Structure 1
Amino acid sequence: MTPMKEDYLKIIFELGGVKKKVSNKDISLGLGIAAGSVTEMITKLADEGLVSHEPYAGISLTPDGVKLAAELVRKHRLWETFLVDKLGYNVADVHPEAEVLEHQTSDRLAAALDTFLDHPTNCPHGGVIPSATGNYSDVSHRLLADGQDGEEVMIERFLDNHELLVYLHDLGLKLHDRVTIIKHEPFEGPVVVRKAGSDQDIMVSFKASHNIFINETK
């Protein structure tokens, strides 16, 4: 299993590919790669029995794909939590370190790390952390890009991407912020949002809006 294949399994997991079909376009935007490359890799993963691909319908993880993706996500996000909470890393900087560490982490070490961290359920950028048995709490898979104009939503989590996290920090958007979606600019333009209590519009790029997950405000 190559690191690139693992990245595909993790992004499909994050986009909701356990319970629904996800599109090539969303995978492409999530990984920041060309759509043609996505098609080629999905074919390889389907041949290995890790994903199911229905043309024009979308992509989902098979049971074997779910098991492997949950294990990879669990180890990666436990290390991210450790690096931020115990070593003081900036959230935007932990991904490459966690990528290296997850591949050297046995199930026993992951269990010890989980216990040491007091069994966290979410990583620093809001991603769910599966248990050792692959269970995890339900999360929203709605993207900011799919929100409706005029809707008030809460930012639930971000995809794990250094450039994205730096970009959102510069915009002043954080986890659990409540925002109103003002409008979607046409022709793959930005999504305009406004934070609760503010009168300033924030322009979130088309790509970033496909890397931000939202939930209904409570």
Structure 2
Amino acid sequence: MTPMKEDYLKIIFELGGANKLVSNKQIAISLNIAAGSVTEMVNKMVDEKLVEHEPYSGVRLTATGMKYAEELVRKHRIWEVFLTNTLHFDLPDVHDEAERLEHVTSDKMIDHLDDFLGHPKRCPHGGVIPDRNGHYAKDHDKILTEAKDGETVVVNRFIDNHDLLTLLGDIKLDIGDQLKIISHDPFEGSVTVDNLTDKKRLVIGYKTAHYVFVK
């Protein structure tokens, strides 16, 4: 399997493609790839029975695609934990390094690294880490744009994207922050929130809010 196809499996998993349909637009934005390229790759993955596609709605992982995705995500996120906690990499910088390492890491190696780190359950940006038997806690979260005005939510995880994580670091939005939803801009789509943890009001852009998951 090519590294690019592996990236597609990981991002579909991260966007919730185990349980719901993920749109080609979401994949394109997350991977910073042209929509036409996404369509072409999705068609190949359908032929290989890695995903199921519903026209005009999106894709979800098949059982085969899910197994591959879980193995890839496990390696990637364990490396992210090591790079962040042990080597003290800045969070926005760990993705590319973990991307290189996961492709040359054996199952035996990742199991030893997992033991060394004490079997972490989540990566630094909040994503679940499957254990060596494929078990992990299922997230029941939603994207920030789906939270209703007046609702109070907790930040659960972020999409693993360098520019996104840099921006969130700049505005000091962290995993575990409690947010009260103030309003949704009907034109721009931005979400205004009160960060109750930091006691600060934030206006979070439409694209950014789609890649912040809350519960």
TM-score (norm 1): 0.93
Looking at structure 2, the residues matched to 71 and 80 of structure 1 have their Cα atoms a distance apart, in angstroms, of 15
Q: CA deviation at 1:32?
A: 2.8
Offset from partner CA, 1:14-64 (integer Å, 9 cap, x none): 111112222223223322333333222111111111000011332110111
Whether the aligned pair in 2 keeps the contact of 1:184 and 1:191 (CA below 8 Å) is yes
Range that drifts further, 204-213 or 185-194: 185-194
Counterpart of 1:48 in structure 2 is 48
Aligned to 1:212: 212
Q: Secondary structure at the match of 2:127?
A: coil
Aligned to 1:100: 100
Match of 1:29 in 2: 29
Give the deviation of 1:197 after TM superposition: 5.7
Residue in structure 2 matched with residue 123 of structure 1 by the alignment = 123
Query: Structure 1 residues 130 and 197, CA, compared in 2 at 3 Å: closer, same or farther?
Result: closer
State the one-letter code of the partner of 1:41.
M
Contact 2:178 2:197 in 1 (8 A): no
Q: Does 1:60 align with 2:60?
A: yes
Alignment of 1:153 with 2:167, yes or no, is no
Is 1:192 the counterpart of 2:182? The answer is no
Percent identity, aligned pairs only, is: 54
Partner residue, 1:174: 174
Assess if the C-alpha contact under 8 Å between 1:29 and 1:210 holds in 2: no
Match of 2:4 in 1: 4
* Separation in 2, partners of 1:159, 1:151: 22
Q: Which runs of 4+ in 1 moved over 6 A?
A: none
Tell me how large the CA RMSD over aligned residues is.
Answer: 1.5
188 and 7 in structure 1: CA distance in 2 versus 1, 3 angstrom threshold = farther
